[in-house]
């Protein structure tokens, strides 16, 4: 019987040392040391033994159990350490692997112009406002001093949706909305970038949808000199610090007086080239002093408040700034065009 116990010890330790995983090891613990294990089985015969014999059999069986237990413990530590090693090895980071390339997009030139103008005007204390693209006739025309039947409505061929609503033909209706919301109290200093729509046939310089940036300043002490200073700053920011501007008389129903603004040609510097058609000047935007009717219709006292306004075509600025010859390039999403602005 003692021999059988020793045999079991050798057998168990053999199996334990050949194990390679923790689950298997646990099965061996149950197999050899559990209640139904072979050692318990052998010990059942103890009841037939002499007391002396029984005593030494008890001692040997304890030794065998302890030896198996110890072997299992040692193996367990070994396997656990190995598992940690393996986990660490699997998780090592190869710092020499080249990085994955991320394709970074390009800011669209119209967005770039808009961003640049927004930061310029924000730095001068303006806030950025927005308005709806589907607009009421009331804001798009009437509150801007363009009553129904006014001949100047023909300057802006419109996409009407109903008799009273249309796709806005300019960003000027945001002026009317902001004035109305201010309830007769200034000051107001806003710009408003956004899409506008006109029933034009598309060609190299016309598009049925384009981008405008409207500006409006209303306060108690605003003059044409403020307008001119602001526009000079704008021209220099967009086209270079040595640019000059000139104001030519013009007409818009919502401003009086109205002006068209030219900047000295940035290609030839003013001496005349193909870009400025030999004149040295390039038209960049329309502007003027807010018409008293516009102020009054939106609840401002025109004896107390004056204002100036301007409307910039973002496409026009971008075309001049980057030498783009066809306005349709902005809308066709051709990556060969867009990637040039990296
Ligand atoms: N709304 C005009 C247009 O689309 C542009 C414009 C001109 C806006 C003069 C203004 C302005 O605010 O004062 O043709």
Return the exposure string of 287-313: e unless at least 16 CB atoms fall within 10 Å of the residue's CB, then b.
bbbbbbbbbebbebeeeebbbbbbbbb
pLDDT score of 155: 74
Strand, coil or helix: what is 264?
strand
Q: Is residue 144 predicted with pLDDT exceeding 90? A: yes
**311 Cβ below 6 A of ligand 1:** yes
pLDDT score of 169: 96
**How far is 251 from 259, CA to CA, in rounded Å?**
7
- Give the model confidence (pLDDT) of 211-230 as tens digits: 999 999 999 999 999 999 99
- Give the model confidence (pLDDT) of 225-278 as tens digits: 999 999 999 999 999 999 999 999 999 999 999 999 999 988 888 888 888 888
pLDDT score of 274: 83
**173 Cβ below 6 A of ligand 1:** no
Strand, coil or helix: what is 201?
coil
- Give the model confidence (pLDDT) of 300-317 as tens digits: 999 999 999 999 999 999
Q: Which helix (DSSP H) or strand (DSSP E) does residue 235 occupy?
A: helix 224-239
**How far is 80 from 86, CA to CA, in rounded Å?**
10
Query: Ligand 1 pocket test: which of 179, 286, 292, 314 has the largest number of ligand atoms within 8 Å of its C-beta?
Result: 286
Phi-psi region of 270 (alpha: psi -120 to 50; beta: other; left: phi over 0): left
**How far is 332 from 1, CA to CA, in rounded Å?**
94
Who wins on pLDDT, 291 or 49? 291
Phi-psi region of 240 (alpha: psi -120 to 50; beta: other; left: phi over 0): left
**289 Cβ below 6 A of ligand 1:** no
Contact 204, 234 (CB under 8 A): no
Question: How far from chain centre, in Å, is Cα 228?
Answer: 35
- In the reported structure, the alpha carbon of residue 24 is separated from the centroid of ligand 1 by a whole-number distance in angstroms of 84
pLDDT score of 109: 95
Contact 162, 178 (CB under 8 A): no
- In the reported structure, the alpha carbon of residue 154 is separated from the centroid of ligand 1 by a whole-number distance in angstroms of 14
Question: Whose Cα sits closest to atom 12 in ligand 1?
Answer: 310
Strand, coil or helix: what is 113?
helix
- In the reported structure, the alpha carbon of residue 260 is separated from the centroid of ligand 1 by a whole-number distance in angstroms of 10
pLDDT score of 139: 97
pTM of the model: 0.72
Return the exposure string of 256-279: e unless at least 16 CB atoms fall within 10 Å of the residue's CB, then b.
eebbbbbbbbbeeebeeeeebeee
Please give the mean pLDDT across all residues of the chain: 91
3-state helix, strand, coil in the chain (%, to 5): 45, 20, 35
Question: How far from chain centre, in Å, is Cα 173?
Answer: 28
Nearest to 143 by CA among 300, 297, 255: 297
pLDDT score of 33: 84
From 151-155, 181-185, 305-309, the region with the lowest mean pLDDT: 151-155
**313 Cβ below 6 A of ligand 1:** no
């Amino acid at each position: 019987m003692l021999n059988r116990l020793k045999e079991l010890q050798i057998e168990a330790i053999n199996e334990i040392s050949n194990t390679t995983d923790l689950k298997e090891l646990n099965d061996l613990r149950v197999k050899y040391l559990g209640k139904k294990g072979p050692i318990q089985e052998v010990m059942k015969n103890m009841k037939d033994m002499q007391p002396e014999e029984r005593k030494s059999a008890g001692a040997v069986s304890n030794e065998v159990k302890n030896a198996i237990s110890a072997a299992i413990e040692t193996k367990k530590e070994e396997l656990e350490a190995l598992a940690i090693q393996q986990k660490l090895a699997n998780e090592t980071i190869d710092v020499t692997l080249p990085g994955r390339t991320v394709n970074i997009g390009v800011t669209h030139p119209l967005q770039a112009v808009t961003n640049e103008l927004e930061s310029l005007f924000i730095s001068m204390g303006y806030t950025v406002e927005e308005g709806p693209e589907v607009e009421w006739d009331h804001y798009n025309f009437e509150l801007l001093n363009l009553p129904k039947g006014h001949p100047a409505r023909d300057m802006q061929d419109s996409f009407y949706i109903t008799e009273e609503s249309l796709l806005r033909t300019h960003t000027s209706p945001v002026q009317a909305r902001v004035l109305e919301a201010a309830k007769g109290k200034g000051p107001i200093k806003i710009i408003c970038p956004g899409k506008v729509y006109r029933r034009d046939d598309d060609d190299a310089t016309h598009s049925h949808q384009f981008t405008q940036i409207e500006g409006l300043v209303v306060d108690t002490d605003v003059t044409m000199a403020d307008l001119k200073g602001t526009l000079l700053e704008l021209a220099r920011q967009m086209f270079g610090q040595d640019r000059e501007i000139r104001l030519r008389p013009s007409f818009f129903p919502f401003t009086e007086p109205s002006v068209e603004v030219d900047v000295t040609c940035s290609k030839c510097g003013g001496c005349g080239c193909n870009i400025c058609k030999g004149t040295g000047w390039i038209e960049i935007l329309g502007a003027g002093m807010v018409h008293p009717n516009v102020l009054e219709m939106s609840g401002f006292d025109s004896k107390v408040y004056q204002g100036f306004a301007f409307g910039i075509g973002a496409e026009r600025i971008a075309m001049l700034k980057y030498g783009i010859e066809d306005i349709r390039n902005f809308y066709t999403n051709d990556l060969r065009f867009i990637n040039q602005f990296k």
